[in-house]
Amino acid sequence: MSHSLARLGDLARTLGRGNKDAPPPPGQLGREALRARREALVAEFARRQYDLGGLVYEMAARDHIRLDIVLRKAAELQQLDWELAAVEWSSKLGEQAAAGACPGCGRLFPEGAVFCPGCGRPLSGVNAERDAR
């Protein structure tokens, strides 16, 4: 099972690369655009989740489950889920004051953040620097 999960993660990372039609990062959207993007992502996530469930059901009913197809569809769903989480986080950040910007990628982060939400860089040094001022 862990091998399947590793493949799922690989597929999700592959799907996330090179998407030229992808919307701008959530941090670059305005409040109304974030709300509209969130609504669109929620609707798309629900549709794809429903489709994935139906796909697995139909495969099981025919006793012919194609794991490669299920993993690819699940990776696409996981990518949407990650994007939705980023949009929701950005909208919450917009409601609060940002504590600072990551020195690695420049993304804003909220008070108490341990890692950058954009690049994953540890922020403990950044927080200590800011507190010393």
For 75-102, write each residue's pLDDT tens digit.
999 999 988 888 887 777 665 556 677 8
Distance CA 73, CA 50 (A): 11
Pairing of strands 98-101, 108-110: antiparallel
16-25, 42-51, 124-133: range with highest mean pLDDT? 42-51
pLDDT-derived band at 37, boundaries 50, 70, 90: confident
Exposure class string for 29-43: b at 16+ Cβ within 10 A, else e: beeeebeebbeebee
